[in-house]
Amino acid sequence: MQIFARRALAASVSGSATKIASSPGPYGRLSGPGGRLPGDTTLLLEGSWAGGELPFDCWSLDDAIDARFAWIDRLAAEYAERLARQEAGLRDDERPTLAYINELALRYFLVKLLRVVAFFEDVCLPVPGEAWQLDLSGEADQVYAELFDALAERHGVELTVHWHGSPGPRGRSSEGSTSRAQGPGLPFAERKATLPWRRWLGRAASAISRTSLPSNDDRPRVILCGNPRVLDPVCAELLSRGCRVWWLYEQFAVRAWWKWRRAGITQLLCDNAGSLNAKTDQNAGVCNAGVNNIVCRGVRLGGAIANWLSEQAATQGDRQFGWLEQIGRHFRAVQPTALVLDEDATPLKRVAVAMARRHGVRSLVVQHGAPCGPFGFAPLTADEICVWGESTREQLLHWGIDDARIHVSGWPNAALPVRSTPSQSLCRERTPCRSAERRWRVHWNPREHRRGHSLQRLDKENAPTRFLLLATVPPDDARPDTATFHLTSHNHAAMIAMACAAVSRFAGARLTIKLHPRTRDAGVFESLVKCWPQLDIRLVHNRGAAALFADADCVLSCASTAGIEAALAGAPVVQLLPEGSGDVLPAERWGLIGSARTPEELPLLIDQALARGWLAAPQRWPDIVAETGFRAAAAIAERVLSSRSPPVAGAEACRCPGVERPTVAIDH
């Protein structure tokens, strides 16, 4: 068997050209009779083959491993939690390990390993004594070398590893490399050098806004850490109740400081590497504890995991262990009563939660997006979580979170457009377009929208049908997504092509593709839409979602939070899911028309959506979102302050000038 880490490597290997002129064949096809792959088979570990017909002996993990292997996700979460479990009772003399801090990245890395194990256990059964030729390239593939060593030992096969380029020391990546499972990043020393002005500005702003804490000041003290679009309404509500509030950031946030400067809010920063008292290597034994006990179906994963953790130590260790001392110092200075986050899965938030537990501070998460998968939500590291509605609560219960830790509070930053009554924020006028015809367009005034006006789509008879596609972040072949979601580069392109083909059925139709906020490069989408020159396709990135909703006859959502927001607004929303994915976001539970995975399903659902049209009022509002705006923020503030005495008397008089209870619109 010939095994390549990725397709570019296969193309560069002499004599392999005849093996790579292929593309994924029948979707999710398993092996031949008896569970064996005949003849000289070729396996691709990352990405899919391209072009032509797929011969029987060419395979890729991206196409073979789908939602039928959902046990991979569950086991990856279990193994990652096992490695980080020792942090549950963090003592004063202990510090979190790299496994705890990077648990989210570790889960995705374990998915990457377990896909290989699943292929050779459930798809292709190795024959003892057969020969495997493994082609790898560079330091990033060290984990594959460790894993296939364990697989060869388990199945008794003869393994030969061919390195193309310098692999670095065996079992440990060279210093300065980056984690492929976590994504590209700079070592902390380089990050520090790239933003000197931000550090200087942060120190100046802290000096200007720093206020002393009187010993008799018994007001609640809350630290916020997360996306301001999620936590801004909570911040305003806490200020209105007389609380002291701080924002915790890794680097100085200019916009957040400008917005809250009149309220006297100080930012607690974690951008000083000079505060370290210990080096990362001194913690290597702690971060690798328990690794050798991770075994899946007789295959030892400890070598690959230890290699990955060493890579994290080399690239992220100094920076992340620096957070420990800096956040601990902030907690000792502020002495907070609560920590509020938008999630507890990423490294900085997990360090903050660990420090909160060490100092006896309650931590609470505010739901940040649609629960499309457990990795960003469960297991819950913080003490509690405030969710939008019963739909999210039921999903978290299914993922094993204790009911007592889940509180239905609502969606504080949802400002939902409803096409019900005319509004002064919209006007009808003719504007020229690129084409010869002149079309009606909707003009949206964000200020009027924030004041509570509803949006109304002003249609013109016989106007072209308008579609809005809410895209997801293009996948990274080096960091496979969960098996349940099964989003790969191949089926991501297939989803975009499926949407374009369905829209092309309507004469003169327009398709607007709204890129995800975390999409850094639109080149992927530009190359995909070039295949449809006959369509009027527009790519938008920074335009507000509410205006796009109002200007669409049908919304196509790639399992996104914005799609739920559009459905609550009354828009007909069809969900696009990768072929082979599980029911990650059940349509009936979230007010969607349905979910389409194949080109045959999508046109039928679009016809249903257009036949239903916009609704005058939202559907299933209490189940999806209990409250919105300042009412939801008030419910969250109640949970934050629930363990303390009632708010200080006359708190309304303490409200800082210019700080109101806003209903913050989501700008996707």
pLDDT of residue 272: 67
pLDDT of residue 201: 62
- Rg (C-alpha) for the chain, rounded Å, is 26
Residue 196 DSSP SS3: helix
**Amino acid of residue 531:** C
Structure tokens at 372: 């499309």
Q: Is the pLDDT of residue 432 over 60?
A: no
Higher pLDDT, 198 or 567: 567
Which residues sit opposite 430 in a β-bridge? 440
Position of tokens 């000289």? 40
Higher pLDDT, 445 or 516: 516
pLDDT of residue 271: 80
Q: Give yes or no for a contact between 443 and 423, defined as CB atoms under 8 angstroms apart.
A: no
Report pLDDT digits (tens) over 260-298.
988 989 999 998 644 445 455 444 444 455 788 899 999
Q: Is the pLDDT of residue 517 over 70?
A: yes
pLDDT of residue 494: 93
Question: For the chain, what percent of residues have pLDDT higher than 90?
Answer: 55
Question: For the chain, what percent of residues have pLDDT higher than 70?
Answer: 72
CA distances from 650 to 568, 600, 646, 664 (A): 37, 62, 11, 26
Q: Which helix (H) or strand (E) holds 134?
A: strand 131-136
pLDDT of residue 41: 84
The widest CA-to-CA distance across the chain, in whole angstroms, is: 81
Q: Is the pLDDT of residue 652 over 80?
A: no
Report pLDDT digits (tens) over 518-548.
888 888 898 888 889 999 999 998 777 888 9
Q: Is the pLDDT of residue 58 over 80?
A: yes
Which residues sit opposite 245 in a β-bridge? 222
pTM for this model (two decimals): 0.82
Higher pLDDT, 274 or 118: 118
- Give the residue-averaged pLDDT of 125-153: 92
Q: Give yes or no for a contact between 12 and 6, defined as CB atoms under 8 angstroms apart.
A: no
- Give the residue-averaged pLDDT of 564-580: 93
Give the phi and the psi of residue 190 in degrees, each rounded to 5.
-75, -40
User: pLDDT-derived band of residue 475, with 50, 70 and 90 as boundaries?
Assistant: very high
Q: Is the pLDDT of residue 208 over 70?
A: no
Name the nearest CA neighbour of 592 among 567, 615, 610: 567
Q: Give yes or no for a contact between 227 and 312, defined as CB atoms under 8 angstroms apart.
A: no
Whole-number average pLDDT of the chain:
78
Report pLDDT digits (tens) over 86-96.
544 454 456 78
Residue 570 DSSP SS3: coil
Q: Is the pLDDT of residue 628 over 60?
A: yes
> Could you tell me which residues come within 8 angstroms of residue 36 by beta carbon, excluding any fewer than 6 positions away?
124, 125, 127
Which residues sit opposite 25 in a β-bridge? none
Residue 50 DSSP SS3: strand
Higher pLDDT, 206 or 356: 356
* Separation CA 153–CA 162 (nearest Å): 18
Report pLDDT digits (tens) over 146-186.
999 999 999 999 999 999 876 644 433 333 333 333 333 33
Structure tokens at 522: 């639109």
pLDDT of residue 19: 42
* Separation CA 69–CA 238 (nearest Å): 45
In this structure, what is the dihedral angle of CA atoms 643, 646, 648, 650, given to the nearest 10 degrees? 150
User: pLDDT-derived band of residue 351, with 50, 70 and 90 as boundaries?
Assistant: very high
**Amino acid of residue 618:** P
Q: Is the pLDDT of residue 439 over 60?
A: no
pLDDT of residue 133: 93
Q: Is the pLDDT of residue 422 over 50?
A: no
Q: Give yes or no for a contact between 341 and 223, defined as CB atoms under 8 angstroms apart.
A: no
pLDDT of residue 89: 45
User: pLDDT-derived band of residue 24, with 50, 70 and 90 as boundaries?
Assistant: very low
Lowest mean pLDDT, pick from 28-37, 82-91, 246-255, 343-352? 28-37
User: pLDDT-derived band of residue 49, with 50, 70 and 90 as boundaries?
Assistant: confident
